[in-house]
Amino acid sequence: MSNINGKVIAITGASSGIGEATARLLASQGARVVLGARRLERLEALAASINDNGGSAVVRALDVTSRAEMQGFIDFAEQQFGRVDVIVNNAGVMPLSKLEALKVDEWDRMIDVNIRGVLHGIAAGLPLMQRQRSGQFINVASIGAYAVSPTAAVYCATKYAVRAISEGLRQEVGGDIRVTLISPGVTESELAESISDADARSAMRDFRQIAIPAEAIARAIAYAIDQPADVDVSELIVRPTASPY
């Protein structure tokens, strides 16, 4: 019997890439999925496709940089289904560039989405999970949470932060609540489209040729959810076999 079947799973950044693949996979395994992102029409098309295939999906527009919107998203999930079993803090942006390019607004955006977004998800979901005496946070970091490379200093800093926050949360809430860090290597998605720096963009185009499908990361997320309640899969790195990084 799957431990995914029937679970209420809220996913941020569900409008493309890893979030979308995760929503499809978990819904196909019986989860009731709650989809959040800014591009509402993409979410609605995804939910229609899931529901047409016999799954259960609802959507809500969400900007994770707003604490109020994140709280509204989790409250909506609870209102729809009576509980929230898993929050997948997946939304992220990666506008790479060298520090000397001084794209300070893009640094701020990475900090706001990649770090504050995850913290907002924790703030919105933790009291509810503590009341339920069960729940799971799945935070999507990156191989950039383990090593730094040129053009990726700020992006990696945000992902190191997600790793630190996840480990701290795991230590504090252990008992009833599970915490899982999923760190993808290069994966097919729209992530590189946020790169405005021409050099970083063309380097990334070469780097991404070995990308694995987003569904590979979705399977890792499903594996972590599917474990029995007393088993916490704390960290998983999933990367292309051909990747040296």
Active site residues: 155
User: Of these, 4, 62, 86, 157, which contacts ligand NDP (CB under 6 A)?
Assistant: 62
Q: 55 or 184, CB closer to ligand NDP?
A: 184
> Residue 166 interacts with ligand NDP (CB under 6 A)?
no
Q: 8 or 21, CB closer to ligand NDP?
A: 21
The residue written with tokens 């990367």 in the block is 239
Q: 97 or 142, CB closer to ligand NDP?
A: 142
Residues 99-118 that bind ligand NDP (CB under 6 A): 113
Separation of alpha carbons 182 and 223, rounded Å: 11
Q: What are phi and psi of 8, to 5 degrees?
A: -95, 120
> Residue 18 interacts with ligand NDP (CB under 6 A)?
yes
User: Of these, 10, 31, 50, 91, which contacts ligand NDP (CB under 6 A)?
Assistant: 91
Binding residues for ligand NDP, how many (CB under 6 A)? 30
Amino acid found at 81: F
User: Of these, 28, 29, 38, 80, which contacts ligand NDP (CB under 6 A)?
Assistant: 38
User: Of these, 8, 10, 17, 73, which contacts ligand NDP (CB under 6 A)?
Assistant: 17
Give Cα separations from 204 to 92, 103, 184 (angstroms): 17, 17, 15
- Among the listed ranges 33-41, 44-52, 146-154, 225-233, the one in contact with ligand NDP (CB under 6 A) is 33-41
Q: x/- site string to ligand NDP, residues 124 to 163, per CB under 6 A? A: ----------------x-x---------------------
**Residues within the interface to ligand NDP (CB under 6 A):** 12-19, 37-39, 42, 62-65, 90-94, 113, 140, 142, 184, 186-187, 189-191
